[in-house]
Amino acid sequence: MVFFRRKKTKENEKKFEEVASNQEGWEELPAYILADAKDIKTVSIIASSLLAGDYPESKFTVKKIWQRNPEVELVSVIATALTARENTSSVKVTKISKKLAN
């Protein structure tokens, strides 16, 4: 019976994703965004020193630094808190969309 429950859940998720993707006027928010220019130098120095470890002659190049999107993080926390209050089951936020202003 568990197999059938999983199958129904996956089918429902696919239907929900199809409906959500067909709606116009919504923009999907990225989970990660590029870091601010002021933070790049600090993060690069810390990451390079940690990765170099006992090999100070090694070279390490940081190409891009990503950070969590603060808007997505806030919405995830609020949604999880609201659903946790209602249910005792776990919640996973997979996609967050923002309604575009017309």
pTM: 0.58
In this prediction, residue 69 carries a pLDDT of 92
The CA distance from 33 to 29, in Å, is 10
Please tell me what DSSP assigns to residue 32: E
Confidence of residue 5 (pLDDT cuts 50, 70, 90): very low
- Contact present, 56 and 77 (Cβ < 8 Å): no
Per-residue pLDDT for 54 more than 80? no
Kindly report, residue by residue over 12-46, the tens digit of the pLDDT: 566 555 555 556 788 889 999 998 888 888 888 88
Which residues, including other chains, have CB under 8 Å from residue 40's CB and lie 6 or more apart?
62, 65
Q: What percent of the chain has pLDDT over 70?
A: 73
94 token code pair? 């997979």
Give the total residue count for the chain.
102
